[in-house]
Each structure stands twice: as structure tokens, then as C-alpha cells.
């Protein structure tokens, strides 16, 4: 599959913010999910599976770096502990998203599967989840991190899973 990479509209070497990077990743993942279902609707089931596999892998990676990097940083800086903070809610939503991904991976290339039910539920959860992240969590983290710390966090996210 051809991947298109676009350079951000900012001067080379300028600091990156968590919000900018992760809102971009949400949009990238949304586009992959839509492309998978467009292929499925055309009957291109092999292509639908390939694209959906990229989507599912990307979403799991996104969830992983949020839970391993962002949430602990947020909790530490906010002096939050235990299971009642915002990141605990976000982790529970991640578990629901991951469970739906498993179902959808089994169904994406089966023309008889009722995948639209799972898709609707995934989109409902993600809509609310992404809004909380994009409007609250990411901007709060950007405010708490010094410019260099934010840039380093984005660099760590970009390297995530590459060894």
C-alpha cells in the first residue's frame, strides 16, 4: 500500500506539541478506517483487510504510547494516583476500543458479517474519547510541559515501537 507522508506546515526544527502530533495521528487513523470500509463497500475485501490491518495496528500503537508515555506523565504532573483519575477512564475506553478491533478484524473481509454494528460502536466510543483527548488531555499536557519537553515527548512517540 502506498503511504503519503506530508511535512507539517512549520519551520524545520521548530518544536512540536503533543496536541499537534496526536490530533494528526487521529486524523490519519480515521482516514485508514474510512478507506478500509470504502474498499469493503466496493467488494474489494482483500484490500479492505490490508487497510484495516494497518488501521488496527496504528490504533493499537497509538493506545500503547498513550498508556505508556502520556498518561503516566499527565498523572505525575497532576499528582494523580489510583483508579479514579482521567487516565483511568481513558484506559477503560481503550479496552473497549481494543475489544471491538478484535471483532472487526475477524469480520472485515466477510461480506456477510454484521460489522457495521461494531463499526458504529467503535465510532461512538472514539468520537467521545478523541474529543476528551484533543480538547482536554493533550492541551493540558502541552501546558504542563516546557517546549523542549513537549518536543522530546513527540520524538519519543514517533520512535515508539521501532526498537
Q: Which residues contact 33 (CB under 8 A, 6 or more apart)?
A: 52, 55
pLDDT over 80 at 31, yes or no:
yes
pLDDT over 70 at 49, yes or no:
yes
If you average pLDDT over residues 23-36, what whole number do you get? 97
- pLDDT tens digits for range 51-92: 999 999 999 999 999 999 999 999 999 988 767 788 999 999
> 98: domain range?
18-159
Q: Do the domain assignments include residue 4?
A: no
Task: Quote the cell numbers at residue 153.
Answer: 515527548
Residue 134: which pLDDT band, with cuts at 50, 70 and 90? very high
Q: What does residue 81 show for φ and ψ, rounded to 5 degrees?
A: -140, 160
Gap between the Cα atoms of 95 and 63, Å rounded: 9
Q: Do the domain assignments include residue 8?
A: no
Gap between the Cα atoms of 130 and 140, Å rounded: 14
With vertex at residue 27, the alpha carbon angle to CA 25 and CA 30, rounded to the nearest 5 degrees, is: 110
* pLDDT on residue 150: 92
Domains identified in the chain, total number: 1
Gap between the Cα atoms of 7 and 37, Å rounded: 27
Q: Do the domain assignments include residue 6?
A: no
Q: Do the domain assignments include residue 10?
A: no
Residue with cell 498523572: 75
Q: Do the domain assignments include residue 3?
A: no
Can you give the pTM of this predicted structure?
A: 0.88
pLDDT above 90 as % of the chain = 82
Q: Do the domain assignments include residue 29?
A: yes
Gap between the Cα atoms of 46 and 151, Å rounded: 38
* CA atoms in the 13 A half-sphere facing the CB of 38: 7
Amino acid at each position: 500500500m502506498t503511504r503519503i507522508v506530508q511535512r507539517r506546515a512549520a519551520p524545520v526544527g521548530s518544536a512540536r506539541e503533543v496536541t499537534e502530533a496526536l490530533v494528526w495521528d487521529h486524523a490519519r487513523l480515521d482516514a485508514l478506517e474510512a478507506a478500509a470500509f470504502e474498499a469493503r463497500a466496493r467488494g474489494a475485501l482483500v484490500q479492505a483487510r490490508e487497510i484495516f490491518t494497518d488501521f488496527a495496528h496504528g490504533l493499537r500503537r497509538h493506545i500503547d504510547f498513550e498508556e505508556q508515555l502520556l498518561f503516566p506523565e499527565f498523572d505525575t504532573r497532576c499528582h494523580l494516583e489510583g483508579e479514579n483519575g482521567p487516565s483511568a477512564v481513558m484506559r477503560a475506553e481503550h479496552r473497549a476500543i481494543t475489544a471491538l478491533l478484535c471483532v472487526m478484524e475477524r469480520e472485515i473481509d466477510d461480506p456477510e458479517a454484521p460489522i457495521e454494528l461494531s463499526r458504529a460502536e467503535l465510532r461512538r466510543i472514539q468520537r467521545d474519547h478523541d474529543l476528551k483527548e484533543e480538547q482536554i488531555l493533550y492541551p493540558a499536557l502541552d501546558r504542563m510541559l516546557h517546549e523542549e519537553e513537549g518536543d522530546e515527548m513527540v520524538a519519543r512517540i514517533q520512535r515508539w515501537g521501532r526498537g
